[in-house]
Amino acid sequence: MRAPHSGQALTVPVSGRDHIAGSPDAPMQLLEYGDYECPFCGLAQPVVVEVQARLGQRLCFAFRHFPIVSAHPHALHAALAAEAAGAQGRFWEMHARLFAHQDSLDDDMLLFHAAQLGLDIDRFTADLVDERHLSHIREDLSSGERSGVIGTPTFFVNGVRYEGVPDVVELSTALERTAKARA
């Protein structure tokens, strides 16, 4: 069995600039660096959802973009689409939709996803074309690189890199164990 985490610390703590589900003051914190076109991130998504359901108010989940454009040609535009949706208050809805439709991430499909969410399409399109949120994605990439992220998904459990199997039981156990150790 692999160790639950390697000890690599998160160099840029979760803050208000991040996309956060749950209370930032929750006793447990899970951060994911992810890529919407990465099949392994797609497999991890239902695990994260189940961990969130299992831990409820005790968990703060944050997501940061880490598009690996050399392997995933639509990853950057998908991240831009998530940010454009976020600018309209719908980040998490787009986040879920992009993972649910990983095979449909070209620009036409991103517009379709935005329309399905009821977004202002003109504003969404302008955000994509202008790459208005590219600096946010670059900040995420940079913070990931400084924290030793080289692939996706990469998780940090209470500020420490998680190296275990990303399944519901092991991830929940690691979160609970490190929260107790910090208390």
Structural domains in the chain plus CATH codes: 5-182 (3.40.30.10)
Mean pLDDT along residues 26-55: 97
Query: CA 119 to CA 122: how far, in whole Å?
Result: 9
Tell which wins on pLDDT, 16 or 181.
16
β-strand partners of 60: 29
pLDDT in tens, 51-71: 999 999 999 999 999 999 999
Query: What does the pLDDT read at residue 6?
Result: 54
DSSP string of the chain? ---SEEEEEPSS---TTSEEES-TT-SEEEEEEE-TT-HHHHHHHHHHHHHHHHHGGGEEEEEEE---TTT-TTHHHHHHHHHHHHHTT-HHHHHHHHHHTTT--SHHHHHHHHHHTT--HHHHHHHHHTTTTHHHHHHHHHHHHHTT--SSSEEEETTEEE-S--SHHHHHHHHHHHHHHH-
The predicted pLDDT at position 2 comes to 34
pLDDT at 46: 98
Question: pLDDT-derived band of residue 4, with 50, 70 and 90 as boundaries?
Answer: very low
* pLDDT per residue as tens digits for the range 90-118: 999 999 999 999 999 999 999 999 999 99
pLDDT at position 7, please?
66
Please tell me the distance from the alpha carbon of residue 11 to that of residue 145, in angstroms, as a whole number: 9
pLDDT of 56: 96
Range 147-168 average pLDDT: 94
| Mean per-residue pLDDT, 10-29 | 96
Percentage of residues of the chain with pLDDT beyond 70: 95
Q: Residue 155 pLDDT > 90, yes or no? A: yes
pLDDT of 85 over the 70 cut = yes
179 against 4, higher pLDDT = 179
Q: What is the pLDDT of residue 181?
A: 75
